[in-house]
């Protein structure tokens, strides 16, 4: 009886350790990373911040897309807002789509940010952070430029007004628009 | 840090004054909710965070407390905006119930195993002492007994 009890306890302990190991492996294999340049951008469908329906990235296939992740509490996002709006007005006639994705933000504050900076490109809300997670966003602002085929052309982790990023953003935008 | 604290306190005071008289139930506190709500960017509770996102939520909570919202209503509004992961404790329904019951089940199972072990140990009878072994074969032992008998 004692031997059987001992074997059962050992089996239970082993099963527990195996379960914890499986959990660790699952966590490591399901960690979200930023898609690399050249990789397919994760598709998504998100509600518009103004409540007027949804936008699906897949439906924009065939057009270059700029994804800008921002938040109303983010200081550098304020400085780049005007630059993004200017580039949007410059490029949308050439088929480029700009999408703003609001990151871990209160929707009313986000809407007043959009109004305050007079931003006219579509703004989407990612309340749960699922989409920002799939793009490996850990800080804002971050900007992705996607090709017509939905592949990442450039990923800029910081404000596009940053001297190191401004040139890269423009050239990526020009490449995506021309391709 | 101090500026942030003062801003939250100032917002709470400005908004609390006019609304105080209209509140029909005990008012919840920012300190209480800071321990119940997570900072979405740093994954700690608000009271342990100094991020801009946490500060924004603290201002929101202060405004809602001033407007006489209950803690539950404020939490519901935050869940509607950020999803259930904004709460430090998982909801007590559905699959999330496991997070509440598993630790209790684990402690109970551990206590049962411990109690069973103690009970078995306390009921174990002492084993009879083994007979002393002289280390001699039977023939030698018999002869030794005979010799000893002569001296008796």
pLDDT tens for residues A107-152? 999 999 999 999 999 999 998 888 999 999 988 999 999 999 999 9
The predicted structure's pLDDT at residue B2 = 57
> What distance separates the 2 farthest-apart alpha carbons in chain B?
117
When CB atoms are compared, the residue of B41, B81, B113 closest to A106 is B81
Residue A76, both tokens: 């550098």
Arithmetic mean of pLDDT, B96-101: 81
For residue A125, what are the β-bridge partners? Answer: A47, A102
Alpha helices in chain A (DSSP H): 2-29, 75-91, 107-116, 130-134, 163-178
Are A92 and A8 in the same domain?
Answer: no
Q: What are the helix (H) ranges across chain B?
A: 2-20, 30-34, 52-66, 71-82, 97-123, 138-151
Q: Which of A5, A51, A73, A141 to mutate to test the interface with B (most CBs of B within 10 A)?
A: A73
Same domain for A25 and A93: no
Strands A152-156 vs A142-146: parallel, antiparallel or unpaired: antiparallel
Task: For Cα atoms B50, B56, B61, give the angle at the middle one, nearest 5 degrees.
Answer: 105
Q: Both A26 and A41 in a single domain?
A: no
Rg of chain B over CA atoms, in angstroms?
36
What backbone torsions phi and psi does residue B29 show, to the nearest 5 degrees?
A: -125, 155
Q: Is A73 on the interface with B (CB under 8 A)?
A: yes
CATH number at residue A141: 3.40.30.10
Note whether B76 contacts A: Cβ–Cβ < 8 A: no
Do A117 and A94 belong together in one domain?
A: yes
Residues of chain A neighbouring B60 (CB-CB closer than 8 A): 106
Instruction: Please tell me which of the candidates B53, B83, B113 has its beta carbon nearest to residue A71.
Output: B53
Report chain A residues whose CB lies below 8 A from the CB of B83.
127-129
Residues A25 and A102 placed together within one structural domain of the fold: no
Any B CB within 8 A of A49 CB: no
Nearest CA in chain A to B78: A106
Pairing of strands A142-146, A65-70: antiparallel
The C-alpha of A155 sits at a distance from chain B's nearest C-alpha, in angstroms, of: 20
DSSP B37: B
Q: Which whole number is the average pLDDT over B74-78?
A: 96
Would the CB atoms of B56 and A75 count as touching at under 8 Å?
Answer: no
Q: Is residue B144 part of a domain?
A: no
Beta bridge mates, A101 = A69, A124
CB contact under 8 A, B53 and A128: no
Question: Nearest Cα to A107, choosing from A66, A67, A51, A45?
Answer: A51
Average pLDDT over residues B21-32: 86
Whether the per-residue pLDDT at A56 is higher than 60: the answer is: yes
Report yes or no: A154 and A144 within 8 Å, Cβ to Cβ. Answer: yes
A72 in B contact zone (CB under 8 Å): yes
Chain B contacts of A107, Cβ < 8 Å? 81
Based on the fold, state whether residues A91 and A75 are members of the same structural domain.
yes
Antiparallel, parallel or unpaired: β A54-56 and A45-48:
antiparallel
* B110 in any annotated domain: no
Query: Is the domain of A10 the same as that of A97?
Result: no
**Same domain for A21 and A45:** no
Contact assignment for A75 to B52 by CB distance below 8 Å: yes
The answer to whether residues A27 and A38 belong to one domain is: no
Q: Is B55 on the interface with A (CB under 8 A)?
A: yes
In this structure, what token pair is assigned to residue B33?
A: 């909710």
Instruction: Confirm whether B16 is domain-assigned.
Output: yes
Residues of the domain holding B53: 2-94
- Alpha-carbon distance A128 to B40, whole Å? 9
Interface A-B: count of C-beta contacts within 8 A: 33
For residue A50, what pLDDT is reported? 85
Q: Which residues of B touch A72 (CB under 8 A)?
A: 56
Pairs from B87-91 (Cβ < 8 Å, separation ≥ 24): B87/B36, B87/B37, B87/B38, B88/B35, B88/B36, B88/B37, B88/B38, B88/B45, B89/B36
- B126, pLDDT greater than 80: no
Both tokens of B146, joined, read 């005979």
Residues A16 and A56 placed together within one structural domain of the fold: no
Residue B101, in any domain of the structure: no
Pick B25 or B68 by higher pLDDT.
B68
Same domain? For A44 and A65 the reply is: yes
Q: Is B7 on the interface with A (CB under 8 A)?
A: no
Q: Are residues A22 and A81 in the same domain?
A: no
Q: What is the pLDDT of residue A97?
A: 96
Q: If you count them, how many residues does chain A have?
A: 179
**A74 lies in which domain range?**
34-178
- Other CB atoms within 10 Å distance of the CB of residue A72: 23
- Give the total number of structural domains in chain B: 1
Claim: this prediction has a pTM higher than 0.90: no
CA B11 to chain centre: 34
Above pLDDT 70, what percent of chain A?
A: 99
- Best to test chain B binding among A9, A15, A20, A104 (most B CBs inside 10 Å): A104
């Amino acid at each position: 009886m004692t031997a059987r009890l001992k074997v059962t306890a050992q089996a239970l302990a082993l099963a527990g350790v195996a379960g914890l190991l499986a959990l660790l492996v699952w966590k490591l294999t399901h960690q979200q990373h930023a898609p690399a340049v050249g990789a397919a951008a994760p598709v998504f469908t998100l509600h518009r911040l103004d409540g007027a329906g949804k936008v699906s990235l897949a439906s924009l296939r065939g057009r270059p897309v700029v994804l800008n992740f921002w938040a109303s509490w983010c200081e550098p996002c304020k400085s780049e807002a005007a630059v993004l709006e200017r580039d949007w007005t410059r490029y949308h006639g050439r088929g480029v789509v700009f999408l703003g994705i609001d990151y871990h933000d209160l929707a009313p504050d986000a809407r007043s940010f959009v109004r305050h900076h007079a931003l006219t490109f579509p703004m989407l809300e990612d309340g749960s952070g699922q989409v920002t997670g799939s793009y490996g966003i850990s800080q804002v602002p971050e900007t992705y430029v996607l090709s017509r085929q939905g592949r990442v052309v450039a990923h800029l982790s910081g404000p596009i007004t940053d001297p190191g990023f401004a040139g890269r953003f423009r050239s990526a935008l020009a490449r995506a628009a021309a391709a | 840090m101090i500026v942030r604290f003062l801003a939250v306190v100032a917002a709470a005071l400005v908004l609390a004054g006019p609304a105080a008289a209209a509140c029909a139930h005990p008012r919840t506190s920012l300190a209480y909710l800071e321990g119940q709500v997570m900072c979405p960017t740093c994954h700690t509770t608000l009271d342990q965070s100094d991020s801009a996102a946490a500060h924004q939520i603290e201002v929101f909570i202060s405004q809602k407390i001033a407007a006489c919202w209950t803690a539950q209503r404020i939490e519901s509004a935050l869940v509607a905006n950020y999803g259930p992961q904004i709460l430090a404790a998982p909801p007590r329904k559905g699959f999330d119930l496991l997070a509440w019951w598993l630790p209790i089940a684990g402690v109970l199972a551990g206590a049962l195993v411990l109690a069973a072990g103690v009970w078995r140990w306390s009921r174990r009878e002492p084993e009879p002492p083994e007979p002393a072994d002289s280390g001699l074969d039977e023939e030698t032992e018999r002869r030794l007994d005979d010799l000893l008998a002569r001296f008796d």
